[in-house]
């Protein structure tokens, strides 16, 4: 649909579950997961819904695909066999080569590459506790792991600001999710949504002027847009060296 909510167009039509779409930055493709192969695998299609290509073929479920900023790679999460864990993988857009970037004894999900291509943000179930998600940062190659949030509530669903130096995410403060942002150097998070409803799965528009997110009010989930708070327009602080400390 258009960015104002108009012109709704159905892109897939079948008896299976097609989920978690991610639009390539060059506008050519949409990556998504589907159980049409008998398991949740990664697929790619043209932006008009044609030319569907299967990218993964694994017995372990694949979730949360996101494109690299150059539209050449897709980062995704793949379940670890026989465990309630997910590792972080990356593949080229054709699915010819797949590389595991991070696997440990905790669940890692929602991995996304920064717009400048240098870092990956993701959320981790700290101590594998599903009620305590934390926002994590690492280098593009999977090294230099850094923890950005540290509290007893769930922090998750991270997304990048266009400057690659700030991260938008949801935190379950006071028992309900609200949107926050934090710099890649860590520091003190800042809350940016308030009031009724739970706010999750947010994204920042490429021009940095709008935030889009899901709001859950009494079990009804709808898509919202809000203008970027004026204080957040523009570049953030310089990036840290993740190879130190």
Which percentage of the chain shows pLDDT scores above 90?
83
Which pLDDT score, from 0 to 100, does residue 212 have? 95
Which pLDDT score, from 0 to 100, does residue 239 have? 41
- Does residue 65 contact residue 32 with C-beta atoms inside 8 Å? yes
Instruction: Let me know if residue 10 belongs to a domain.
Output: no
pLDDT confidence bin for 243, thresholds 50/70/90 = very low
Residue identified by tokens 């932006």 is 47
pLDDT one-digit tens code per residue, 140-160? 999 999 999 999 899 999 999
Instruction: Let me know if residue 8 belongs to a domain.
Output: no
CATH for 212: 2.120.10.30
- Does residue 78 contact residue 89 with C-beta atoms inside 8 Å? yes
Which pLDDT score, from 0 to 100, does residue 244 have? 37
pLDDT at 241 over 70: no
Instruction: Let me know if residue 240 belongs to a domain.
Output: no
Domain extent, residue 55, equals: 18-232
pLDDT at 1 over 80: yes
Q: Is the pTM of this model over 0.85?
A: yes
What's the structural domain count of the chain?
1
Instruction: Let me know if residue 204 belongs to a domain.
Output: yes
Q: In sequence order, what DSSP letters do the residues of 56-123 get, joined into one string?
A: ---SS-EEEEEE-TTSSEEEEEEEPTTSS-EEEEEEETTSS-EEEEE--SS-EEEEEE-TTSSEEEEE
> Rounded mean pLDDT of 61-81?
96
Instruction: Let me know if residue 132 belongs to a domain.
Output: yes
> Rounded mean pLDDT of 46-68?
96
Is residue 173 classed exposed, middle or buried when 0-12, 13-18 and 19+ CB atoms within 10 A define those classes? middle
Instruction: Let me know if residue 98 belongs to a domain.
Output: yes
pLDDT at 74 over 60: yes
pLDDT at 174 over 50: yes
pLDDT one-digit tens code per residue, 216-240? 999 999 999 999 988 887 665 444 4
pLDDT confidence bin for 131, thresholds 50/70/90 = confident
Which pLDDT score, from 0 to 100, does residue 84 have? 87
> Rounded mean pLDDT of 33-57?
95
Which pLDDT score, from 0 to 100, does residue 234 have? 67
β-strand pairing of 98-102 with 210-217: unpaired
> Rounded mean pLDDT of 61-79?
97
Instruction: Let me know if residue 237 belongs to a domain.
Output: no
Instruction: Let me know if residue 184 belongs to a domain.
Output: yes
Identify the residue with better confidence: 245 or 206.
206
């Amino acid at each position: 649909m258009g960015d104002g909510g108009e012109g709704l167009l159905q892109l897939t039509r079948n008896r299976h579950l097609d989920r978690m779409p991610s639009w390539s930055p060059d506008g050519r493709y949409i990556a998504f997961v589907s159980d049409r192969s008998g398991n949740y695998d990664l697929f790619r299609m043209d932006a008009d819904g044609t030319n569907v290509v299967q990218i993964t073929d694994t017995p372990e479920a694949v979730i949360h695909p996101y494109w690299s900023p150059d539209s050449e790679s897709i980062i995704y999460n793949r379940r670890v066999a026989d465990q309630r864990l997910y590792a972080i993988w990356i593949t080229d857009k054709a699915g010819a080569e797949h590389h595991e970037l991070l696997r440990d004894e905790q669940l890692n999900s929602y991995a996304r590459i920064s717009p400048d291509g240098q870092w990956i943000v993701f959320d981790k179930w700290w101590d594998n506790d599903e009620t305590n998600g934390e926002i994590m940062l690492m280098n593009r190659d999977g090294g230099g792991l850094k923890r950005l949030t540290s509290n007893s509530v769930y922090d998750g669903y991270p997304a990048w600001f266009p400057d690659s130096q700030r991260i938008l995410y949801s935190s379950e403060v006071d028992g309900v999710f609200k949107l926050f942002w934090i710099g890649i150097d860590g520091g003190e998070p800042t809350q940016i949504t308030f009031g009724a409803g739970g706010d999750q799965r947010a994204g920042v528009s490429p021009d940095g002027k709008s935030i889009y997110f899901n709001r859950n009010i009494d079990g009804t989930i709808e898509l919202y847009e809000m203008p970027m708070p004026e204080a957040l327009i523009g570049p953030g602080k310089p990036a840290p060296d993740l190879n130190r400390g």
